[in-house]
Amino acid sequence: MSARLKQSTLARSLAVVVAGAVVLLIATESLSSYHNLQLSYGAYYFTVLAGLTVLIGLNGQISLGHGGLMAVGAYTVALLVGNEGWALVPALVAAVVTSSLTGVLVGTAATRLRGPYLAGVTLAFAVGLPSLADKYPATFGGDQGLTINPPVPPSWLGSSFPLERWEAWIACAGALVALFVLQNLVRSGVGRSLRAVRDDEIAASLCGLRVARVQTLAFVVSAACAGLGGGMLAAVEQLAAPGAFTLQLSLSLLTGVVLGGLGSLTGAIWGAAVLVLLPGWSNDIAHSFSLSGNVSANLPLGIYGVVLIGSMLLWPSGIQGGVRALGGRLLPRLAPNRPSPAKPPQGGQT
Amino acid sequence: MRTPFRLVAVVAVIGVLGPIVAGCGSSSNKGSSSGPQPGVTATSITFGTHTALTGPAAPGYSEIAPASAAYFKYVNAHGGVYGRKIKLLIKDDAYNPTNTVNVVHQLVLQSKVFGIFEGLGTPTHTKVVQYLNAEKVPDLFVASGCPCWDKGSSQPFTFGWLPNYTLEGKILGAYIAKHFKGEKVGVLYQDDDFGQGGLAGIKDRVPAKDIVSTQPYQVGTTTLAPQITAIKSAGAKVLVDFTVPIYTAIGQLTSFTLGYKPQLVISNVGNDPTTVGALLKAVSKGKASGTGLIEGAITDYYLPSNTDNSNPWIKLFRRIHDKYDAKAPFDTNVLYGMSSAYTLVQALEAAGKNLTRQGLIDVVNSQGATWQGPGLVPFRYSASDHGGYSGVRIAMIKGGKIVESGKPLTTDPSASGPITVATSTQAAPPASGIPGP
Amino acid sequence: MTKFIDLTLNGVSTGAVYAAVALALVLIWRGTRIVNFAQGGMLMITTFVASDVINSSGSYVLGFLVALGCGLVLGAIVERILIRPVESAPPVNAVIVTLGLLILLQAIAGMIWGNSPRGFPAAFSIRGYKVGGTRLLFAPNDTFIVVLVLGVALALALLFRRTDVGLRMRAAAFEPEVARLLGVRVGRTLTLGWALAAVVGSLAGVLVAPSVFVGPNNFDPILIFGFTAAVLGGLDSPLGAVIGGVSLGLALSYVSGYAGSSLVTLAALVILVAVLMVRPNGLFSIAQGRRV
């Protein structure tokens, strides 16, 4: 039975999701309000990063514009919940739809582009899209953006149910859904076609894969995740404003994906943790020494820069790569009777 | 054998992180406002602020909070307020509203501040106003001139401080209508609540046929050439700048290149001669140097000119600046920070030894309008009115300094509200430099 | 009519600066196949240093030369220490390193010089040329910028096409192993490429500083549009960088003047997409896509 379990991706990912849900449920009960809030941030970051790591790591297309796709999701939720009075879950679904459609547009344009040219277009997208809010201030609230009311916990949870815990539940639920879908996608035929296109486009098209379609699909999947993440951001932070979706956001998403470990969903968890926790830690470090104003204000940024450079020089595969390497060294010691992975055939065959 | 490892890894990550973070996180938030007030002990009061310390919006604004902290240090060195030292936790949001929401939550939930003071920026602070009022956290003296803080009934815990942009626009507009009657007027304004509010005030007083060109610009643009050329071609003899200092300077550079010399009217947000002069000083070897390009500009201000060394408030703040904030230039930003901090201390003194959040709000509502400080005009505080300063005084930039003239003028934010001369005059600071109870 | 002329002149002078940044990016791309996102940070640091030199010595020329010299040194150091380890790694790693460097440089600048921007002198007068009764939106300093940028572009094009050094740089970029076999000191060539690019970037910095001022974040828009211009013109082509830069400057100036300033960044996106759909490797791309 357990062998069957190991084989079936669906069952395995379901088990992971259920286990994750249980752990998160317990965690949200014991965490303080502020930490629950941080958990929400981590959850929506994870959702975006997971999609982005599939796009960059598994499909080999770079995107510097996922902040713009998050903005699409966030504004969709803000408009539907704030102006039209929709409930949150349908609004999140709508956010996934609108961002997926945007993803189709961007992805189709992207199929013709490679490398830095794709980077340039996605960067222009990240910079240009939020300015629509300034162009149509009546609909999008202009520079101030839109505010929505906080999502109210349903009455059957009790009247004193903390808002932050409810927000954490929403965000974690969204993240688990994304995790479930992506885990299955990555292990399926679709995932294999993504990787095939990344590794060798010519060979993939010779095998019958429609390269442009696969690339667009990868973009759509990552856009859907970004839209969901953006929608959850709107729900948790109760805002959608152009100032929240800067180029810096798109670039931090990229750095989060690579720091965590490119191509790995667990890497996306690490990346989300870094994005949420590092600013706070570096701020605390900066203020624990009594430095002059300029130095302590800029030190967190400096630390971030050093972390990025350092991790690329020292652990190019990111945190997950480091964890795997550690695991690879520990596992033979912990389980010496386990058969080691098959060695590649010597000589001759390739 | 990655398959079970992956499963174990995911669950372990969450399972390990959770209790660790929970262990770090101190007591969970049980119950709210009943019981001892957060942020107040027998020896300290803790306030929090969010401001732009880094990023493109930081220039100028990053000086304000440290200047307020310097004033608090001075007060603390002289015994504090009822024996309590005032602590200001300054958090950087880089003018990004998501960060503002994060740091304000951190300040309220984790650092458990007594209140938020001098939250900076409109697109940033509007995102936390609802939260602060729902949690009944005092949100005092927001550092932004948006009329949106002035909602005493729906936002009872939020108070503005500086005269709002529409108010300022009205008074400047009235001045233009009177002294430049019939002249063509062009307006260069920042495309956000600041510029749009100021423009609305100008339009309120200057006849529509005289306003020949209104040109918005986005923050982050590197050139104002399209805007200035449009205003010049429209033949405007008066140019109203609702700009921040950088764009005041860029606009003047472009005007200089074009040989365009209109009468400048600059909002108090963008008039700081120290900042603008530093930007313009270096250009073109003396041909367009220092504040020469804004000499003779009409502006307005609600505090004494930062270069007026005969004014007792300036003397007091300069002393404090030299001791506690010497690295920053003594410009209008530093003056702002200290003046705003003075008002907070006034509020704390008036609230009495038994300090509660609601008590502080009540005292601003009931007594705020009577407080005398460095301001040239009275406050408008009342239960319904949470706006802040009620007007400004017209000034001119002469010799690189803000030179005020005429009487302080007050008005209300409504379009038709009359502009009247302020009846109160600026009182001298208390001898200790600290407001009494 | 004057509006059109003024917008055109403004477009040319801002475009020249985008072209200079684009040239630096093209230089690094041709030399190491890496996009240097830290270009804006590097030129910001050298401009700050130049500003300090000018303020203390009173000499613009000295400051100018110091800026170029600092650029040379900074470019070489960055390549040797930070970029060398990731040159053979997947390209996204180099992207992260350069992004990290950009952030670090902005933080360092903030720590040393503070966040308040300062002015920077122009080499020549900024009073517009007088034609007929009016002054144009083009001054002697703008002529200086345009001439200098064109000169640098020409010099780079000649460097790559006509000199041994240029040939070695191109070889080291495309086929490092083969180049090594033929005796090219690949490492040194790459360092030289980065150093030269940093010099070009520093030049762009001192040219644009009078109009955007010097601050940790003041060069960000220049970098974004410079990168867009480089992509537009084709990352392999110095001529493309210049044409891309000037065209972008002109187009955005017209958009800002006729359609409104809020549409500028969107217009950049539309232009870029339109061009790349037709020429996926930029206007002056050399490499053509493989088709099977």
Q: In 3D, which of C92, C98, C91 has the Cα closest to residue A257?
A: C92
- Chain C positions touching B230 (Cβ under 8 A) are 3, 257
- Which is it for strands B139-142 and B409-410: parallel, antiparallel or unpaired? unpaired
Instruction: Tell me how long chain B is.
Output: 437
Q: Do B7 and A16 touch (CB under 8 A)?
A: yes
* C135 interfacial to chain B (CB closer than 8 Å): yes
10 Å CB burial of residue C192 (0-12, 13-18, 19+) is: buried
Task: Enumerate neighbours of B (3 or more CB pairs within 8 A).
Answer: A, C
Q: Which residues are CB-neighbours of B35 under 8 A, at least 6 positions away?
A: none
Q: If you measure CA to CA, which chain A residue comes closest to B67?
A: A293
Q: Do A293 and B66 touch (CB under 8 A)?
A: yes
Instruction: Tell me how long chain A is.
Output: 350
pLDDT band (50, 70, 90) for residue B126: very high
Asked, for residue C289, whether it belongs to a domain, the answer is no
Q: Do A202 and C102 touch (CB under 8 A)?
A: no
Are the C-beta atoms of residues C25 and C282 closer than 8 Å to each other? no
Q: In 3D, which of C256, C224, C220, C201 has the Cα closest to residue A65?
A: C224
**How many distinct structural domains can be found in chain C?**
1
Q: Is the pLDDT of residue A271 over 80?
A: yes
**What whole-number distance in Å separates Cα of residue C87 and Cα of residue C178?**
16
Q: Is the pLDDT of residue A1 over 60?
A: no
Q: Do C260 and A135 touch (CB under 8 A)?
A: yes
Q: Do B327 and A292 touch (CB under 8 A)?
A: yes
Q: What is the pLDDT of residue A338?
A: 53
CATH of B44-163+308-391, one of 1.10.150.310, 3.40.50.2300, 3.30.70.580, 3.30.2130.10: 3.40.50.2300
Asked, for residue C284, whether it belongs to a domain, the answer is no
Closest partner residue to B130 (CB to CB) among A26, A147, A338 is A147
Q: Do A241 and B4 touch (CB under 8 A)?
A: no
pLDDT band (50, 70, 90) for residue B251: very high
Side-chain half-sphere CA neighbours of A182 within 13 A: 30
Q: Is the pLDDT of residue B233 over 80?
A: yes
- Chain C positions touching A56 (Cβ under 8 A) are 92
Asked, for residue A233, whether it belongs to a domain, the answer is yes
**Residue-range definition of the domain harbouring residue A199:** 8-245
**What whole-number distance in Å separates Cα of residue B314 and Cα of residue B306?**
6
pLDDT band (50, 70, 90) for residue A9: confident
How far from chain centre, in Å, is Cα B371?
A: 19
Tens of pLDDT along A116-125?
A: 999 999 999 9
Closest partner residue to C2 (CB to CB) among B215, B233, B287 is B233
Closest partner residue to B223 (CB to CB) among C14, C118, C216 is C14
State the CATH number of the domain containing residue C29. Answer: 1.10.3470
Q: Which residues are CB-neighbours of A200 under 8 A, at least 6 positions away?
A: none
- Chain A positions touching C231 (Cβ under 8 A) are 116-117, 119-121
Asked, for residue A331, whether it belongs to a domain, the answer is no
pLDDT band (50, 70, 90) for residue A331: confident
Q: Which residue has the tokens 């122009």?
A: C122
SS3 for A139?
helix
Tens of pLDDT along B82-116?
A: 999 999 999 999 999 999 999 999 999 999 999 99
Tens of pLDDT along B137-174?
A: 999 999 999 988 998 889 999 999 999 999 999 999 99
Closest partner residue to B287 (CB to CB) among C119, C125, C208 is C125
Q: Which positions in chain B have a beta carbon within 8 angstroms of at least one beta carbon in chain C?
A: 53-56, 58-60, 62-63, 191, 215-218, 220-223, 225-227, 229-230, 233, 246, 249-250, 253-254, 256-260, 275, 278-285, 287-288
More confident residue, B66 or A137: B66
Q: What is the pLDDT of residue B14?
A: 52
SS3 for C288?
coil
**How many distinct structural domains can be found in chain A?**
1
Q: What is the pLDDT of residue C284?
A: 86
Asked, for residue C40, whether it belongs to a domain, the answer is yes
Q: What are phi and psi of B60, to 5 degrees?
A: 85, -60
Q: Do B28 and A30 touch (CB under 8 A)?
A: yes
The residue type found at A233 is L
Radius of gyration from C-alpha coordinates of chain C: 19
* C167 interfacial to chain B (CB closer than 8 Å): no
**What whole-number distance in Å separates Cα of residue A44 and Cα of residue A54?**
16
Task: Enumerate neighbours of C (3 or more CB pairs within 8 A).
Answer: A, B
In DSSP terms, B420 is beta-bridged to B410
Instruction: Report, in this order, helix, strand and coil percent for chain B, each rounded to 5.
Output: 45, 15, 40
Q: In 3D, which of A236, A239, A258 has the Cα closest to residue A307?
A: A258
Q: Do A144 and B62 touch (CB under 8 A)?
A: no
**What whole-number distance in Å separates Cα of residue A184 and Cα of residue A14?**
9
pLDDT along chain C (292 residues), means of 10: 87 93 91 88 96 91 95 94 86 91 95 89 88 86 93 88 84 82 85 92 93 91 93 90 95 91 91 91 72 48
Instruction: Work out the angle between the directed axes of helices B64-77 and B332-351 (0-180°, nearest 10).
Output: 50
Closest partner residue to A121 (CB to CB) among C82, C96, C276 is C276
Q: Is the pLDDT of residue B359 over 80?
A: yes
**What whole-number distance in Å separates Cα of residue A18 and Cα of residue B330?**
60
Q: In which residue ranges of chain B is CATH 3.40.50.2300 found?
A: 44-163+308-391, 166-301
Tens of pLDDT along A81-130?
A: 988 889 899 999 999 999 999 999 999 988 989 889 999 999 999 999 98
* C59 interfacial to chain B (CB closer than 8 Å): no
Annotate A288-324 with b (16+ C-beta within 10 A) or e (fewer): eeeeebbebbbbbbbbbbbbbbebbbebbbbbbbbbb
Asked, for residue C274, whether it belongs to a domain, the answer is yes
Q: What is the pLDDT of residue A323?
A: 86
Q: If you measure CA to CA, which chain B residue comes closest to C133?
A: B259
What is the least distance, in Å, from the CA of A200 to any CA of chain B?
24
- The 10 Å Cβ neighbour count of residue C114 is 22
**What whole-number distance in Å separates Cα of residue C204 and Cα of residue C24?**
9
Interface test with chain A among B2, B5, B13, B14, by most A beta carbons within 10 Å: B14
B191: tokens are 């495309």
How many helices, marked H, and strands, marked E, lie in chain C? Answer: 11, 2
ipTM: 0.90
- Chain A positions touching B126 (Cβ under 8 A) are 144, 147
pLDDT band (50, 70, 90) for residue B23: very low
B358: tokens are 């609601």
> In the CATH hierarchy, which top-level class contains the domain B166-301?
alpha beta
**Residue-range definition of the domain harbouring residue C59:** 2-118+136-278
For chain C, positions 69-108, list CB contacts with chain A under 8 A: 82, 85-86, 89-93, 95-97, 99-108
Asked, for residue A350, whether it belongs to a domain, the answer is no
Lowest mean pLDDT among A132-146, A189-203, B10-24, C166-180: B10-24
Residue-averaged pLDDT of chain A: 88
B215: tokens are 């040109």
Closest partner residue to A312 (CB to CB) among C93, C268, C273 is C93
Q: Model's pTM, two decimal places?
A: 0.90
